[in-house]
Each structure stands twice: as structure tokens, then as C-alpha cells.
Structure 1
Amino acid sequence: MARDCDPELDAQVRSAARDGGLVLVTGDPLSGKTRTLWAALFTNLSGTTRVLAPLPGTDLRAVPTVLRGRGDAECVLWLDDLDRHLGEHGLTAALLAELAHLRVPVLATMSDEAYDAHRFGSPDHARLLSGVEPVELGTDWSPAETERLAAAAPGDLRLAGAYAHRARHGTTAYLTVGPELFGEWRRARRANAHPLGHRIVLAAVDLARCGVEEAQADVLRRACELYGDTAPVSPEEFDEAREWASRIRHGTTGMLVPGTEAGSWRAYGSLVEDVKDGLPGFGPVPLELWLFAVDTVGRVNDVLVRARAVLGPEADTNPEALLTLGRIEEEYGDEEAAEVLLRRAADAGSTEAAGRLGGLLFDRQDNAAAIPYLEKGAESGDTEAQCRLGIALMQRSEHWLRTAAESGDGLAALWLGDLLCGNGAMEDALRWYLKAAGAGMRADVATRIGEVLFGFEEYEEAEEWFRTAVEEGDSDGLNGLGRTYEARGALQEAARFYERSAASGDPTGAYNFAIILEDQGKPNEARKWFVRAHERGDCDGAFSLGLSLMRGKKFEEAEVWLRKAQEVGHHRAERALADLKAARTADGPGSPAPGAPDNVTA
């Protein structure tokens, strides 16, 4: 990259190549002194020129003799950090004169601080440097240099990164420190180095590649857990690794640098550009991180733009990339784009995409299109798809049942009534039950009509339909008759119908009959019917029997039955067991010894 000082430097190098002499470039650390002088060497000297680059501290007094032994071969003496090559055995004014006689150029660099110290310090060093006009190189780039950088950026990703980050990082520091940072970061992934620190920086780099330039520390900690089979990272481990990653290198920057918000961090810009450049060992951003970026950071427009640019080309061959991009489009509200992508992913075999597409269509109330995709999602274990599928099928069922029922189909009217009853639409359900009765389904629907009327407290009408059910051979009507009499206070009549219902095998009838007996002060008789209710599947039977036994201070037997109620999931059993424990304590050691209830079989 051309600097403003290049013409002056080129002229000095050509002059030194012709006549010998010292060419010196000075500047601040990381101003690009070495790179600029090296470029001038290759620009102005022939490709056959031999470069002698002795190590600091090398005795240079023998250099003329060595050069004379090379005959007419063109040579140049390269002394980077000239201050480390000074002294009695280093470069002196006398040695420089001898080299000039041999027409050997000496190319050297020196920091501004070192130059000032030596030029205006000891007489020997001053004598060496006094005849040299150094080429000064600054860290701040001029407008002309910045324009040249902008022109060159499209063809070079590193220059493009330097241009993009010029306001945040010094351009020369970016170009000089970047490779050093990248090298250290890359090697840090080894198990015996700093693998967690490497992963934290990688997470920051990949988030930047997703469009999230900076993130809070906790976001980085969770993001770095998305790589491979890594274990969760504790806050303490993360803080230690983050401190390593953010440590200042080369007096300039860390791999992680503070963001604009308190507690936020970002990757140093050149690292992001290096990974974008596709350097070996660094693959694409994990698909999970794209979704993590959206879910955690929120709707940052850059994320959508980057996702389209990066995941779009992958979509033709990668259903998971299709799914990820579809989910991002859905999150950003473009349902039309999301539907296209999710459909392609679902048709390519992604069951997750099928479930999500089915959900989009379901929300649009397009159940006919949604159901096939929801079925695929539901079969894969997607609970949200299972729920929506159930609702969609119910809605479709209602549509077709209503269509058939309106055409006079009695069975459809009955099922439609059941569906509406389950939805709580009791008046609508009653209307269709009555239509089913009128269509020849009287025996099947009479008890249902009685139950709805009972819920409306229309007891006399309910009684008529329950009696119809009994006359038609539906013994469930017996329990309904018992309830209508009980609701009107006719407990003897209610008990008679409950007993008949219980005798027919109805567990609810047995339970209700037991309750009547318990209320009449006949606990032993009641307990027999609680047992029968339990044996026939009534979940309240065991619970009520346990309470009855507890009231009778038959604590051991009560515990047995309450635990049975707990086993079948009775919602009050656990509380009753606690009450039982308290009752035992309160009753004390002088309480009657518990015994088995009279005539009760388990």
C-alpha cells in the first residue's frame, strides 16, 4: 500500500544503490517502517541483490571483507532496529564510509524515540547519523493515503478491513498487529494453550460475521458453548479466559476489545476480516449461532442481511441452512419469505421445518394446507405441532360434522354435539343433540340431552330425558335421575336411583349412593359402595373412603386408601395424607386401636 513518503524513500534507495550510503526510516512503533522500507528495497533494487541481515549484536567489522570476497555481486546490508546494531563492533561512521566506498547501501529502521536519543546523544552515534536525512513515517494516514487505501480495498480483504476499521483502529496498527494477533489466536486452540480463550474470541468473531458487532459478556459465554461437544462454561472460567483474550498485545490491542456499551466486548477487527478471508481451519458460522444471535441480541437488521447473503447460497444443498434462514425470516416478520424457505426445507426432509411451516399455515387458518406438514412435525415429537394438529383436526372435524348434520345425518349431529359440548358451547350442543334425537338417535342421545339440561338447572326437562334414556335401555340415565332428585332435595328418591345405577355397574352411581349413605349416618354401608366405585374405576372412591375411615379414626386403613387415591392421581390426596398425619398426632397414644372397617374388602 503506497505511502506519501514512498517517492522520497525510493529516491534515497536508488541513490544508495548507486553510490552507497545509509537510508534510514524512522517512526512510531507499528507505523509500518519495516514493511515500507522492504517494499522500497524490492521496488528499486534488482532481483539478484543479496541481502545481508545480521542478528543484533553481530560484529559488523568483517562485513567489508566478506563483501569484497563476493566480487561484483550486488549486496545490501539490512539493519532493522538500527539502535541494536550500534556500538564499537556495530555500525560506525568509519564502517559506513568503507561500505559506501564499496557502493553497498545500508537500509535501516529506527523508532523516533531511539533516533532522538542517539542522534542527539553520544558523539559517535551523532557522527554516524548527522549526515543522514531520515524518512519519517507517521501512524496517521493522510487524506491522499486514505484515498489510495479505499481504491485498493475492493481487491484485498485485509486492505478492505483496514479501510472499514480506520476510525476505530489505526490503519498501520491494523495492518501490522493483525497478523500477529491472528497467529497467536490460532495457536491458542491447542489443548495445552488457551482453548477456552480461543473459543470466546471465535464466538465474538462469528457473532460479528452474523451482524452482531459486540455482545455482553454473558452472551459471549453462552455463545462459546455452541461449538462442538463443549461443556458448560462457569462464570469464573469465562472471566479468566476473557482476561487472557483481552490482554493488550504489542502495546496496542487485545484480541477482544471493549464495546461501546458497558460490559460489552467485540473481536478486534482484523480477526473478523481474516476469518472472512477463508483462512484454513475456520469453517462457516454454526447454524445454531445464527438463531442464537437473533434470539439473544434481538432484531438487528444486519443479522437478516448477513443471513441472506451467507445462508442463501447454501440453501440449494443444505436443508438445515434453509430451515435456519426460514426461521430468521419468520422472526423478522417476512412470513412470505419464511414460508417459501420452510416449504423447501420440509420437502427436502426436515421435520422441524415441516412443523414450523404447518404452524405458519395454521396461524393463517389454512388448516387444509397445514395438516400434512403438522403431521410430519407431530410424528417427529414436536409438541407444538402436535397441539396445533389436534386443534386443526378438531376444527376440520367440526366443519365436516356440521356439514353432514345440516344435511340431516343424525350420527353427525350427535358427534357434533359432543365436540361442541367439549368446547363449552352447551346451547349449540343441545340444539344438535335434539336434531340427532329427531333423526332417530333418541336412545343414544337422551342421556346427553338430560346432562345439558341438568347443567342449565332445567331439572324437570332433564328428568324427562333421563327417563327416556332408561326406557331406551341406557342405564346411565339412572344416575342422572338420582342427580335431578337430589338437586331438588328428594334424597330418598335420589338414593333409590343411585342404588339402581350402582347395581347396573355404573361407578359414578355407586359413588353417589355411598355419599348419600354417608350423609344418612351409615358409614359402614357407605364404605362398601366406595370400594365398589373404586373397583369400577371411579377415582373419587378411594379418596372418599380414606376420608370416611379417617373420620372414624381408622388411621391405618385410611392411609391405605388415601395412598391408593394418590396413586391414581387424585388432586387432594397429598393434602389429605398430611391431615391424616396431623390427626394421628392430635389423637395421641390413648386413641382406640385402629381396625379394619366392617364388611369392607380391598
Structure 2
Amino acid sequence: MGREPEDETGEERSVKASGSRSVAAGGDIGMVITGDNATVNSITGGTYNEPVIQARNIGNTSTGPQYTGDHFDFRGADFHDKVVAKETNYTETNYYGNVPAPADWRPVADVEPRQLGVSETLPIPGQPGIPPYVPRDCDEELEAKLAHGGLVLILGERYAGKSYTAWQGVRSLDGHVFYAPHHGEDLRDLLVALQGRTGKYVVWLDELTDHFGEGGLEPRLLGKLTGLGAVVLGTMNPDEYYRRRTRTGPGDRVVATARTVRLPREWTDAELRRLSQLDDPRAYPAYMWSGKEGAASYFAVGHLLFDEWQREGTRAEHPRGQMLVRAAVDLARCGVTGAVPVELLRQVQEQYGTEEQESFEDALAWATTSLFGVSGLLVRGEEADTWRAYGALVAEALRSDDLEPVLDGVWWLLLDAAASGAPIDRTAVLDAARAALHPRFEEGDAELMFAFADRVGGGESEGLLRRAADAGHVQATEAWAARLVDAGDEVTALRYLELAAEAGSVSAAREAGRLHRERAERWLRVAAESGDGEAAHQLGDLLGGGADPQESLRWYVKAVDAGYEAAATSLGRELINRNGRKDGEFWLRRGVALGDAQAALSLAVVLEDQRGRNAEAEELYRRAMAAGHPLASSYLGELLLRTGPVDEGEALLRRAAAQGSDEAAYWLWMRMVKSGDKPEANKWLVTAARLGHYYAKRHLGQLPGPDSDPPATVNE
């Protein structure tokens, strides 16, 4: 090999290399031609400047392809114009590639999941970045098809676990070595690397469609690779596979020849059982919460979805959307693991507040938009308009120490909704509530205990009510007292009712009064029937105005028969009320003789109605007033207005009215009407009505009377 002489034009000719293994190398050279029956043509080193640099193999006449030598080697040379490499008996252009020698390929036993593109999950201290492999139901089918050789495709959606399943399958090929070309890598270089060698090879083509096109997989290349002992394993989306296998393009014809294994995203019960038995702290949460999205998806992108929900940018861009996802996560934390109607989800979200910046509809649209090609933060349920949180969000929330506890209002909303027939597992919600709220029960949170007791039955409710009542919760005290009454324990009930009444509960005071009256009547009756006159007198007073108009009279008679003289006044008044004036007056005088101010007042009222007895009535009123009877001054004042002295009568009425006497105020109204002082009259009429005087309220239209229209309903 040397520099050529000048040609006919006088220009110096370039170096020409010929021979069975021609080489042109070194120097600053013009056009170079190598070839002439060569099996290996090499242009190495040097710089080549001329417009045309040709290297040809023009005379290879051997039968069959000479893959070990039929290629052109341009390593180490710099070219400043085009290079033409031509081979006459093999129609495809030869390339020198960067595929490592098969001796450097990794044995399948040493292949790591990362080499097949398996993603790491959320790191946990002390655990590997990738959890241990969980056997899938299709493993045996995949291993059988790989053992058969050729092209095998794992069909599955994104993050269905195809790469990890492929790794497991690759490891089943004992004695094979492994190579994974990059996407876009020229696969024809594999032929060069494998020519003239014997062995067992696995070529991993993740996402097979990314390995089609120029220099990619096509039928002839696939045939040559498998002919050289290579098993080709790839992955593909099922929809893409079914679209391509019926077409006729080079890549489509490759797809049609493949043996396939289907890998669903949702794991079967058997696969989930194997997952739950895995010795890894991430396994059981994945078993519990991966759902129909699948455990592979859970491990691959669950933590990314959680981060998307929690990040500050989400809070700024989708404030209500973030609350909506919080509501869905809290539903799961409350034991509602399935999808719920959108209206219930809205109600739970509103427990966290509303946000004018973002409508509920916009928040829902954002939260349900698919991320990472897998799922939205909310997942659609089987029923229309139902949603639930993506399972990994729940698992991460349960694991995280940062998320706030479920709001009390959410617990009550769910329990009330379950009681109203909402599609909620009430037992599951109650169990979750007990676990979540137990520490606060132990701390003595009376309000919480009362609210929970109101929504749970049996002994648990009673225990919580009693504890809340003992802690001073008024409503709990009332409710606990009611249960005690129902159980027949009135003594204990009264103690709680009085505590509530003292704390300001009107209903407790009323109920305590009712119980006391009933108990008083019961025990007074026992004593009276045993001959106790005082008990009979008190029982008669207690029963006045009752259902039996004669009963009080009978007990007064029993009291007198028993020698209890103090009953004389009550017996006299009762007889007067029953038009027994003569007998009534007799017993009232007995009461006056005993010094009873009420007897004096009642007898004065009787005498005042009789002609010529006003003087005696006045004297009795004054005796009653001196004895401290609260009504005596009012009655005396009214009498003096009619009989004189009028000034003293008016003064007595004004004093009594100032002390709260409705009768005194009413009589002052009548006095002022007669005197013509209408403003003063109106003032006293209003005062009397305010103090509850029946006729004053009638006069002002505040009460119905005989001439009024009947009420519209019984309740009115």
C-alpha cells in the first residue's frame, strides 16, 4: 500500500488498498478505495479530505452470508465528505456498532430488576428500594413460552408490573446471558455481535414499539436473531398489540409472530394473598389498599400521587380539590373503603370548609384527572357518580404522622347517614371511630362521649353517657337521667336531674319536679292511708285541680278526721269553691282561730261579697297583711278603693303592684280608667298583663276568650 502516481489530469491520486483484508491507514489522504474480494475492509486512522471516499467489497462469492467478515470498519478515522460502503452479495448495509461482546453480557442469574426498568417505591429505612417479587399467576405461562424461544410479549397497561414479571421470567432461563438495548439503538449491531458465536441469549425490548423503525426490529432481523440463539422478550400495551397484529408494516408483522402473556393491572385474590404474606413492611398496606389499580401501580406511583396531593402548589392551585381528596381519604380512614355517592363526598368535604376560588365541580374534575398515566387522585366506583380515594393515598395517610385527625363532624355525618340508609357499612365506621376516638374518651372529653353515645347503642352508649354526665355535661346528664327513669331507678335519676337543673337546664328542672311530685304523691298516699292527718292534708293540696275534683276534698276530710286541725283552712276553701258557703265559712273561721293568714284572707274574700260585712272583711285583710300574706295588701287596697279611705287603698295597690302583684296592677288600671287618666291606665294594664293577669291579657288580645275564633289546630 502506498501513494498513487498522478492521474491524466496531473492531480495526485489517493491511496488505493486492495487484497483479501485491505487496510488504508494514516496520513492526510484524499480519496481511498478498499475492496477487491476483501472480507474485512478497514479504514483506520488518518484524515480523509476528498469529496468521495469509497470502500467496497465487490467480489465476495462465497455461498451464504459471511457475517464474521462482511463488514466495513471505519473506526478511528475522520471524514469530511460522504462515505459509501457497499456489499454486493448481502443487500443490507453493514454497520459497526457498540454492542458489547456476548462474553460481557450478564448471566440472567445476576440480572437486577432495575436493569429491566423496575421502579423503586417510596424508600423505607432498612428496606431495599424495590420490594421483593410477588409471584404472579402468569409466571408459569411466561416461563413456558420463554423456554420455547422466539419473540414473547408481556401485554399489560402501564404500571401493571410487566417489567418485574419479565425479570422473574428472564431468571428462569438457566444458562442464558442478558442484554437490554436502549430505545432507538440499532438492533442490527446485535447480528454482528452474535455472528460466529454459540450461546443462549436474552434480548430485552421494553415497550416494543419503541424498538421499531430504522435499525429497529423487523421480521428478517428477528429471524436472524432467534436463529443465532436469542430469546427476544418485550412488553406492549394490549390495545396497541391488537391494533398492530392485523396490519402489514414491518413492526406489525413482528407483533403478529409473538407469543403473548396477558398481565392484568388488577391483582387476583391469589396474588393478593401472596402479597399479604410477604415479609416486608410495605406489603400489607399494599394488600389492603392497592385495589383495582393493582399493587404494581401502588408501589410505582402511589407515593408520587400522595406527594401531588400534599404539595404546596396544589394547595395554591386547587384549594377545594385538595380538601375534596382529604374528604375521600378520611372516608377510608373512617372505614368507608368503597366508593361513595358524589353528594355524600360533597357533604364530607364541606366539613372542612368551602373555597370560593374553586367550585366543587372544578375540584372534582381536577381530582379525577389521570396522572402518571395511571389514575386520578380519586377513582371512579362501579356505580354511577361514585368515587373513592386512590388506595395509596390512604395507606400513606395512615403511615404519615403529618395528617390531622378526622374531624368529629365527619364521624357524626357518616354515622347519621348510615342510620338513614346510606350505602355505608355502619359497623366498620363504628369500629374505626372507636379506635380513633378512644384516647380522647380516656382523657374525659365529655362532649365527644355524649355525641358518640347518641349514635351507638347498648351498654357502650350507657357507659359513655354516664361518664359524660359524671363529667358535668348537661345534655348527657339529662339523657342519662331519662335512661335511669326508664330503668326504674328514680332516686339516682333525680340526683342527675337536679345537677342538670342547677347547671341551668329547664327541661331537667321540669322533669325533676314531675318526678318529685309523683314520688311525693305516692309516699303521701302511703302515709295518709295509714292514718297520718298531715300527709292527708298535703296530699289534698297536691291533688287540687287534678282529674278527680272530689279527691282533694276527700283527703282534707281524712286529715280533719285524723285530728289534724291545720287542714281546716284547706277544707274551708275547698267547700267554698264547691258552693258550700256555710260549711266553708265554718272551717275558715276554725283556721282563723288557729292563726292561719290564708284562712283570714279567704274568709275576708267570702265576707266582702256579702252585704254589710265589709268592715269585718277589712279587719281580716289587715290581720292577714300583718301575718305576712303576700296578697293581703292587694285585696285590702281594692276594698278601700270602694269603701275608703281611697288614698290608703291606692297606696296599698301601688306597693303591691311594685312587689309583683298582677291583681294590684289590674285594679289600678280600673281605678285610672274611672278617673279618666288613660295614659296611666294603659301603663297599669300592660303591667298587669306582663305579670300574667288573665283578664288583662284578654283585654289586650293576648289570650283567646269565649268570643274569640277557635284555634286552627289542637296544638294551637
TM range (shorter): 0.5 to 0.7
Matching of residues 505-520 of structure 1 within 5 Å = 505=625, 508-512=631-635
Distance in 1 of aligned mates of 2:497 and 2:586: 45
Following the alignment from structure 1 to structure 2, what is the Cα–Cα distance between the partners of residues 216 and 453? 71
- Whether the 8 Å contact between 1:217 and 1:265 is mirrored in structure 2 is yes
Match of 1:534 among 651, 657, 667: 657
Sort the Cα spacing of 1:531 and 1:183 in 2 relative to 1 into closer, same or farther, 3 A.
same
Q: Distance in 2 between matches of 1:492 and 1:215?
A: 87
| Local SS of the residue matching 1:60 | coil
- The structure richer in helix per residue is 1
Partner of 2:316: 192
Residue 348 of structure 1: how far off its partner (Å): 8.4
* Equivalent of residue 388 in structure 2, options 263, 267, 273: 267
1:7 aligns to what?
140
Match of 2:602 among 480, 484, 493: 480
In structure 2, which of residues 571, 577, 582 is the aligned counterpart of residue 449 of structure 1? 571
TM-score normalised by length of structure 2: 0.57
2:155 aligned residue (26, 31, 48): 26
Displacement after TM superposition at 1:480 (Å): 1.9
Q: Which runs of 5+ in 1 are unaligned?
A: 69-73, 580-602
Matched, 1:497 2:617: yes
Q: Secondary structure at the match of 2:596?
A: coil
Task: Report the counterpart of residue 113 of structure 2 in structure 1.
Answer: none
Counterpart Cα distance in 2 of 1:574 and 1:53: 101
Distance across 2 between alignment mates of 1:401 and 1:202: 63
Which residue of 2 is the match for residue 556 of structure 1?
Answer: 679
| Mapped contact 1:174–1:270 kept (Cα < 8 A) | no
Aligned-pair Cα RMSD in Å: 5.8
Q: Which residue of 2 aligns with 1:255?
A: 378
Larger Rg: 2
Question: Contact conserved, 1:257 with 1:266, CA < 8 A, in 2?
Answer: yes
1:360 matches 2:483? yes
- Give the Å deviation of 1:360: 1.1
Q: How does 1:329-348 map to 2 (within 5 A)?
A: 334=458, 338-339=461-462, 342-343=465-466
User: Which residue of structure 2 aligns with residue 60 of structure 1?
Assistant: 185
Q: Structure 1 98/493 Cα, relative in aligned 2: closer, same or farther at 3 Å?
A: farther
Specify the code of the residue in structure 1 equivalent to 2:479. R
Give the deviation of 1:363 after TM superposition.
1.5
SS at 2:316 equivalent: coil
- How far apart, in 1, do the equivalents of 2:343 and 2:202 lie? 54
Seen in structure 2, the aligned counterparts of structure 1 residues 98 and 350 have a Cα distance that, compared at 3 Å, is: farther
1-structure distance, mates of 2:546, 2:359:
53
Distance 1:308 1:268, change over 3 A: closer
What's 2:11 paired with? none
Please tell me the residue identity of whatever aligns with 1:452.
Answer: E
**2:592 alignment counterpart:** 470
Contact 2:533 2:563 in 1 (8 A): yes
Deviation, 1:538, is 0.3
- Whole-Å Cα distance in 2 between the matches of residues 313 and 544 of structure 1? 67
- AA paired with 1:501? Y
Partners of 1:174 and 1:490 lie apart in 2 by: 103
- Partners in 2 of 1:4 and 1:563 — Cα distance? 90
Following superposition, the deviation at residue 362 of structure 1 comes to 0.9
Contact 2:205 2:233 (C-alpha < 8 Å) held by counterparts:
yes
Q: Report the TM-score, using the length of structure 1 for normalisation.
A: 0.65
Higher relative CO (CA 8 A, sep ≥ 6), structure 1 or 2?
A: 1
Give the letter for the 1:471 counterpart. A
Task: Answer yes or no: is the 8 Å Cα contact 2:367–2:378 preserved in 1.
Answer: yes
Q: CA deviation at 1:35?
A: 0.6
Helix, strand or coil for the counterpart of 1:533?
Answer: helix
Assess if the C-alpha contact under 8 Å between 1:315 and 1:322 holds in 2. Answer: no
Supply the distance in 2 between the matched residues of 1:494 and 1:275 (Cα, whole angstroms). 93
Partner SS, residue 537 of structure 1:
coil
Q: In 2, are the aligned partners of 1:312 and 1:322 still within 8 Å (CA)?
A: no
Alignment of 1:66-85 (within 5 A): 81-84=207-210
Rounded Cα–Cα distance in structure 1 between residues aligned with 2:691 and 2:379: 58
Instruction: Give the AA of the match of 2:434.
Output: L
What's the CA shift string for 1:532-581, capped at 9, x where partnerless? 430342034335534664676634334544564576577887997799xx
Q: State whether residues 14 and 45 of structure 1, in contact with CA within 8 Å, keep that contact through their aligned partners in structure 2.
A: no
The 2-side partners of 1:251 and 1:400 are apart by: 77
- % of aligned pairs identical? 28
Give SS of 1:134's match: strand
Per-residue deviation, 1:157: 5.9
- The residue identity in structure 2 corresponding to 1:479 is L
Gap runs ≥5 in structure 2: 1-133, 194-199, 278-283, 703-716
Does residue 112 of structure 1 match 2:238? yes
The C-alpha deviation readout for 1:346-383, integer Å capped at 9, x for no partner, is 67887765553332111122213434444555566666
1:108-257 residue pairs with structure 2 within 5 A?
Answer: 108-119=234-245, 123-126=249-252, 128-129=254-255, 131-137=257-263, 146=268, 148-149=270-271, 152=274, 156=284, 158-159=286-287, 179=302, 183=306, 186-187=309-310, 191-192=315-316, 194-200=318-324, 202-203=326-327, 209=334, 220-224=345-349, 230-231=352-353, 241=363, 244-245=366-367, 255=378, 257=380
- Cα-to-partner distance string for 1:281-319 (whole Å, 9 max, x where unaligned): 567765654444444442669424753586289769834
Structure 1 range deviating more: 474-483 or 359-368: 474-483
* Cα distance in structure 2, aligned partners of 1:358 and 1:8: 70
Distance 1:441-1:337 versus aligned 2 partners, 3 A rule? same
Distance of aligned partners of 1:558 and 1:131 in 2 relative to their CA distance in 1, 3 Å threshold: same
Letter in 2 for 1:497: A
Q: Distance in 2 between matches of 1:111 and 1:566?
A: 87
User: Partner of 2:153: helix, strand, or coil?
Assistant: strand
Shift of 1:41: 0.8
Local SS of the residue matching 1:192? helix
Q: Map residues 308-323 of structure 1 onto 2, 5 A cutoff.
A: 311=434, 318-319=441-442
Deviation at 1:38, TM superposition (A): 1.8
**d(CA) in 1 for partners of 2:380, 2:519:** 57
Equivalences, count? 544
Q: Which residue of 1 aligns with 2:161?
A: 35
